[in-house]
Amino acid sequence: MHTIPESHPRYRSLITREKLVKGFKDGIVAPQGLIAHGRGEAFDYILGEKTHDFALKSEKAAVLLLSRAKNPVISVNGNTTALVPGELVKLSKLLNAPLEVNLFHWSRERVEKIASLLRSFGAEVLAEGDAVLEGLESARRIVNKRGTYIADVVLVPLEDGDRCEILKKHGKKVITIDLNPLSRTSQMADITIVDNITRAIPNMIKTAEELKNGPNEYKEFEFDNNQNLRSAIQLICEYLTSKVLD
């Protein structure tokens, strides 16, 4: 990794890029994943690169839904693994939701590399690819009998719109993490977390820990995804307007 001085104004963003570049060199991140991250970064910039109230709310709703699920699963790809491997494992354990490797740019080698990195953090990882999600042509159709195939709630960070649609058709509740509130995935999911995955997963860990210690606070939780998405788009508008007026 390049050494990036902590004083650099874009320190966090640059460290994140370094993680992805390392992931790419290690065969975990697909080249297309680097492009997808660029799109995410652009949206993060116009969100002010922080977790807003609407994001925190969706993160809480997501943890609650996952914790109440019968068969929850957390779907991971190259980017998510390169960015937050230890955090994904921690969340998986707290929620009793296995991690499942699912790739758009599929290769057996990349699946194994991702699975073994996550297993080195002590995770239960489903990577057999022994089931198929009917109705999908891309490699994202390759799932696991003990994972997405039987899951009632699926957390799919940085998901592709096509699979989100099929997951819904199969009657699953879909939670996504996507910085673009306008993407097809964001518009189609049951819960859309408009936040950077590097902030969203740590926030979800915190909520899952709080939930374990005292579930009462969460009993009356109400969540409207369309309303939440509108808040995200509105925030972007207001943020940009404030820059015009500066």
Which residues contribute to the site for ligand ATP (CB under 6 A)?
Answer: 36-37, 39-40, 43, 158, 160-161, 177-180, 183-185, 196-197
Query: What, of Mg ion, ligand ATP, none, does residue 77 touch, CB below 5 to 8 Å by kind?
Result: none
> Which of 49-53's residues contact partners 24+ apart within 8 Å by CB, and which partners?
49/12, 49/13, 49/196, 50/199, 51/195, 51/199, 51/200, 51/203, 52/194, 52/195, 52/231, 52/232, 52/235, 53/231
Residue with Cβ nearer ligand ATP (71 or 198)? 198
Query: What, of ligand ATP, Mg ion, none, does residue 185 touch, CB below 5 to 8 Å by kind?
Result: ligand ATP
Give the residue closest to ligand ATP by C-beta: 40
Query: What, of Mg ion, ligand ATP, none, does residue 73 touch, CB below 5 to 8 Å by kind?
Result: none
Query: What, of ligand ATP, Mg ion, none, does residue 179 touch, CB below 5 to 8 Å by kind?
Result: ligand ATP
String of contacts with Mg ion for each residue 123-162, x by CB under 5 A: -------------------------------------xx-
Closest distance of CB 214 from ligand ATP, Å = 29
State the number of CA atoms in the 13 A half-sphere of 108 facing the CB: 2
> From the CB of residue 86, how many other CB atoms can be counted at a distance below 10 Å?
13
Closest distance of CB 65 from ligand ATP, Å = 19
Closest distance of CB 162 from Mg ion, Å = 7
Closest distance of CB 37 from ligand ATP, Å = 5
Closest distance of CB 196 from ligand ATP, Å = 4
Residue with Cβ nearer Mg ion (27 or 161)? 161
Residues of this chain that interact with Mg ion (CB under 5 A) are 160-161
